[in-house]
Amino acid sequence: MVNEETKKSLGILLFTTPYSSEYTDTAIRLADAALAKGHDVTIFAYGDSVHNFTIGQKAKGITNAETEFQTLIEKKGLKVELCGTCLSFRGITESNIIKGAVPSSMHNLCSLIDRCDRFVSLT
């Protein structure tokens, strides 16, 4: 296990919709691997990527973003922030997003970038 003093943090900025490219799957696998090593991981969803965290996805035979992200949040401690403006533009309310994903802001994104040891942008 990682000592709290040496614990690293990873930020992931996700831009893509759940099933339009491999970036959602990459974010899931990268977050899972970093969490397994004991690191803090936060995903910030921007633009259409907020759809990765909505309730009621019907994906079968491929990675189901809703299910995978929910598991990482509940069982492994993934933190997820969703651009509040992006949610609003798309008509997505808090009742439509998975438990543990929280509306956020560009100010919080800037803070995330500043405090993370590593930051990855998946666009």
Which residues in 1-123 belong to E strands, given as ranges?
A: 9-14, 40-45, 79-83, 101-104, 118-122
How high is the pLDDT of residue 60? 85
pLDDT band at 93 (very low <50, low <70, confident <90, very high): very high
Spell out the domains of the chain, with CATH numbers in brackets: 9-122 (3.40.1260.10)
**pLDDT tens, position by position, 96-120:** 999 999 999 999 999 999 999 999 9
Mean of pLDDT values over 7-36: 96
Mean per-residue pLDDT of the chain: 95
Overall pTM > 0.85: yes
